[in-house]
């Protein structure tokens, strides 16, 4: 781990890869997600794909925003309660304030955050992700979740992997198909970080509003470069095998430590979320 401060991290960590040309004719998950969040960093193909899903499942907008709100509450909890000071956010997406570093460095300015994504558009906005508090640090790695060895070796330039780390996988694991071994990917990440580390996951559900989400997923997969695989409560809970689950357990996104205005919400969000601690 280095002692560099914010000014040293204005350039993304080099991935050793050739620059990737942005193909705006094909929808990309990060840009579709940006559109659903109300962002402007997307193209016609992304908007078309997003609207194709909205037409059959208008609640996708509420679900996506609930997912984003869960991310904020989860990292704020980790920075406040167990006092985690290192975060590895894989599948970052296009910056949407407040980003993880903005949340956790407001609580503890010395926090260090490494962002990871494989979309060149996210890379282009990396400077927004690197505006660290001077006491801490932020960095960006252009890599795919499947490249866990690369991610961990590059992250070690900013994070001390002998100390607890929060591994954040919010809205990303559904882009890993079953044949690509998602459970093995998560296990490798968690095997590398020490005891006292945390795993944060949110994942689109296959078993909430099942018929509508299945049709939405089918439409999404027709248009977006990376297909999604929605999973059930049991399948998502399996990612936490061997970890101590933080109460209230694996629940719908808006029901994990809900905001006061959501405490009595009686609607369903088609996404499961949870936080686990490595013993």
Residues 165-220 have pLDDT tens digits of 999 999 999 999 999 999 999 999 999 999 999 999 999 999 999 998 999 999 99
Read off the pTM: 0.89
Sole residue written with tokens 């990376």: 226
pLDDT value of residue 139: 94
Query: Distance between CA 11 and CA 269 in Å, rounded?
Result: 37
Tell the CATH superfamily of the 6-21+63-205+229-277 domain: Vaccinia Virus protein VP39 (3.40.50.150)
Asked whether the predicted pLDDT for residue 25 surpasses 80, the reply is yes
> Residue 2 above 70 pLDDT?
no
CB 132 within 8 A of CB 111: no
Do residues 33 and 171 touch, judged by C-beta distance below 8 A? yes
Instruction: Give the separation between CA 211 and CA 122, rounded to whole angstroms.
Output: 32
- Rounded to an integer, what is the distance from CA 56 to the centroid of its chain? 25
- pLDDT at 122 > cutoff 90: no
Q: How many C-beta atoms lie closer than 10 Å to residue 66's C-beta?
A: 24
Q: Which residues contact 264 (CB under 8 A, 6 or more apart)?
A: none
Instruction: Please give the Cα distance from 199 to 170 (Å, whole number).
Output: 10
Closest CA to 275 of 66, 65, 75, 69: 75
pLDDT higher than threshold 70 for residue 56: yes
Residue 33: predicted pLDDT: 87
Domains of the chain, by residue range, sit at 6-21+63-205+229-277
Is the pLDDT at 264 greater than 80? The verdict is no
Question: What is the distance between the alpha carbons of residues 103 and 12, in angstroms, rounded to a whole number?
Answer: 20
Number of C-beta neighbours around residue 183 at 10 A: 14
């Amino acid at each position: 781990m280095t002692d560099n401060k914010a000014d040293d991290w204005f350039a993304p960590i080099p991935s050793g890869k050739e620059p990737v040309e942005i193909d705006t004719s094909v929808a990309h998950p990060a840009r579709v997600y940006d559109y659903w969040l109300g962002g402007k960093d997307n193209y016609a193909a992304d908007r078309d794909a997003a609207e194709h899903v909205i037409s059959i499942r208008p609640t996708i907008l509420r679900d996506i925003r609930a997912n984003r709100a869960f991310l904020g509450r989860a990292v704020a909890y980790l920075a406040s309660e167990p006092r985690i000071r290192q975060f590895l956010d894989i599948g970052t997406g296009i910056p949407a304030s407040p980003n993880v570093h903005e949340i956790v460095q407001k609580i503890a300015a010395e926090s260090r955050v490494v962002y990871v994504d494989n979309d060149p558009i996210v890379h282009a906005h990396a400077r927004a992700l690197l505006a660290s508090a001077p006491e801490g640090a932020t960095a960006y790695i252009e890599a795919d979740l499947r490249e866990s060895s690369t991610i961990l070796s590059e992250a070690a330039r900013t994070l001390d992997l002998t100390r607890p780390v929060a591994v954040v996988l919010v809205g990303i694991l559904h882009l890993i198909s079953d044949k690509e071994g998602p459970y093995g990917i998560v296990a490798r990440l968690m095997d590398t970080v020490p005891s006292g580390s945390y795993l944060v996951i949110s994942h689109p559900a296959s078993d909430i509003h099942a018929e509508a989400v299945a049709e939405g997923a089918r439409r999404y997969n027709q248009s977006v470069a990376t297909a999604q695989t929605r999973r059930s409560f049991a399948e998502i809970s399996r990612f936490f095998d061997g970890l101590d689950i933080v109460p209230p357990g694996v629940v719908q996104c808006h029901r994990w430590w809900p905001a006061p205005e959501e405490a009595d919400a009686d609607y369903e969000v088609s996404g499961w979320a949870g936080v686990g601690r490595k013993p």
